Amino acid sequence: MMMTSPASLTPHPSPEIPVIAIDGPSASGKGTVAQLVAQALNFHYLDSGALYRLLALAAGRHGVSFDEEEGLVRLAEGLVIRFEGNEVWLDGAQVGDAIRTEECGNGASRIATYPRVRAALLDLQRAFHKSPGLVADGRDMGSVVFPGAMLKIFLTASAEVRADRRYKQLKEKGMHANIRQILHDIRQRDERDSARSVAPLQKCADASLLDTSSMTIVEAVDEVLTRFKQVRVRIGASSSNSFVG
Ligand code: DC
236 Cα: distance to centroid of ligand 1 (angstroms):
33
4 Cα: distance to centroid of ligand 1 (angstroms):
19
Whether 138 shows a pLDDT value over 90: the answer reads yes
The pLDDT value recorded for residue 128 is: 94
Instruction: State the DSSP code for 10.
Output: S
Residue 7 lies in a domain: no
Contact 37, 44 (CB under 8 A): no
Q: Is the CB of 108 within 6 Å of ligand 1?
A: yes
Residue 215 lies in a domain: yes
Residue 51 lies in a domain: yes
Mean pLDDT computed over 15-27: 90
Q: Is the CB of 112 within 6 Å of ligand 1?
A: yes
Residue 231 lies in a domain: no
Residue 80 lies in a domain: yes
The pLDDT value recorded for residue 159 is: 95
pLDDT in tens, 203-215: 989 999 999 999 9
| pLDDT band per the 50, 70, 90 thresholds, residue 13 | low
Contact 141, 38 (CB under 8 A): no
CA trace torsion 99, 101, 106, 107 (10° rounding): -40
The pLDDT value recorded for residue 244 is: 41
Which among 111, 81, 113 is positioned nearest to 96, based on CA atoms? 81
Whether 200 shows a pLDDT value over 90: the answer reads no
109 Cα: distance to centroid of ligand 1 (angstroms):
6
Q: What's the rounded Cα separation, in Å, for the pair 101 and 34?
A: 20
The one-letter amino acid code at 198 reads: V
37 Cα: distance to centroid of ligand 1 (angstroms):
19
Between 195 and 148, the more confident residue is 148
Residue 34 lies in a domain: yes
CATH number, domain with residue 140: 3.40.50.300
Question: What total number of domains does the chain contain?
Answer: 1
Whether 245 shows a pLDDT value over 50: the answer reads no
Q: Is the CB of 138 within 6 Å of ligand 1?
A: yes
Whether 101 shows a pLDDT value over 90: the answer reads no
Vertex 35: Cα angle to 16 and 74 (nearest 5): 80
Whether 242 shows a pLDDT value over 70: the answer reads no
Q: What's the rounded Cα separation, in Å, for the pair 73 and 140?
A: 19
Q: Is the CB of 193 within 6 Å of ligand 1?
A: yes
Residue 198 lies in a domain: yes
The pLDDT value recorded for residue 88 is: 95
Residue 103 lies in a domain: yes
Find all residues with CB under 8 Å of 23, minimum gap 6, and list them.
Answer: 30, 137, 138, 139, 140, 141, 142, 143, 152, 153, 154, 155, 201, 203, 204, 207
Mean pLDDT computed over 53-70: 96
Range of the domain at 25: 19-220
Whether 14 shows a pLDDT value over 80: the answer reads no
The pLDDT value recorded for residue 82 is: 92
Q: Residue 173: how many CA atoms within 13 Å on its side-chain side?
A: 11
